[in-house]
Structure 1
């Protein structure tokens, strides 16, 4: 049985997201743009790629762009242009678009498809203005859709990372060009609550009311448990259902960590498939793969005294911070808000908790030296 970790999945490999996919498909059918907000490792990219897969099945145009990987405005414009044209199966690279555009224009099919989009010649000119290219590439989404009489689903993953590219001006340009496009449906995603709120949620945000806000939650633990029970049964575990239940109770349906623990269980099936093995063994093996990540995050937390103190109290299990902390020395409300905006914490049913269950476990084990009871 194959379980992948850290890699987007689609189709039958995407577990427990039926409701989210149904809602996203309904939004697309209505022409409604959407902004997905969730911490990293919550499976946003898998949702986006599955929506693209389904959109193609409905003969819609689509393209996917990860802004995390875009180094500058010039490349952003080129990637949007390539994404749009890929819907007509035009086979070319970004390098060709940027350095061999004249050669591409010699191709009859290419020339016919881009007729009226002479701005692309600018990709081969050192003097071209990157802002003009970006504006024209955004306009191309709509004109290309209208030319072929089909809607386009434009996906901008990790949209919050536009900040590294002169974000405020880019966001304003995106809004100005996309808000009147009748044939374009945009799906944005971001991992940082504060950035996405300032872009989409706040009444003063550039994209205020442009997109429906869609907060991606963890997956129903019961759905994951049923799936993992089947996997462990096939792999010969002696107590597949209780073992699967321990995993999902610990992760609370966190997509990445549920798959990580399940994968580690399969990797070490000879050691862990016996009924007398403890869940602690699985946690220790899983933590070995994530220790560098946990140490990096802890270093970032430790650099800010007030955030460190709040995180430590929550890791201890103290949900009522005002009862255990001196609010005269620490601005608890402001500190918690920063941690929520960073995606480290989440609030549910009036209580704050870690979005990362393994990080909490690592802090308890390595920093606080407090044993964690089995789930």
Structure 2
């Protein structure tokens, strides 16, 4: 049996194929979101602005809300699984997580800033910092780490908004919990889209969940089902009665569709408690469903799911290249188009078709040839 088959067998034996597939799904949806912002962004309509949006645009954006929370929580899960399965010491895990975290922060501040057109602290940045925090937290019992993460997820909305005249204080507040654009000078600003506090909690919670993949299947499925249903039920109850968990309350609208839109329209920057309940709850049920699948080694869900960072970087610049090319051909002045939403879906499919052979080539380098540098991507 070749090394690739050995690798796939190892995944099956450790019941983490579901994680790979789910990671691939959210990455595919992520491509949809970034394609939409490039190809449909020129309309000037915020998909979550209930006054100006329309259902197709809103739900195209809404389905991609699952990407960041699930990706971050799966990163935490994978850290625990890797530590336990390979019997890594706390010291070794500290080193690996800390170095990996620094690399991600560096990538966000350098390579990825080219795509964003400036310093934008997004998901790669917050994963990097969360990994550094997790490198310390993993010295403690996993269930204690999970409890801490759950407390942060549940109660971070109680932190009030602050505004300071001091530049450093404003920057610190934004980095910790308030999404803002901070003007450093007349020519330089930092946009903080992903404040740290909620996301650190999500990764810590995910780390503790890695333990369930070493349980018997029946126990794991029971836990996932009960936890998923509790999260979903709590979200529905809190949202209907506007009890807690989101800065903008739910309101009944003139039509049923827009009432649903109002119900699902939750704050992402930073992610509210209800936003996290809405996205994480279904994830538990998805993991149960995905355990039934055993895809072959060349399946896109394996290829994409096992090359996440490489896929992320490549898809951004592929979108940039394709968008710039069509901008020139069609004579648009900006990178954002105001074409019909249908073009978003056409280009999305084209992007995925192009990304598959590129990601597969890198997959072969990483898991068959096992080139040393690939462990960092």
TM-score computed with the length of structure 1 as normaliser: 0.25
TM-score computed with the length of structure 2 as normaliser: 0.25
- 1 or 2 for the larger relative contact order (CA 8 Å, sep ≥6)? 2
Task: Give the greater-gyration-radius structure (CA).
Answer: 1
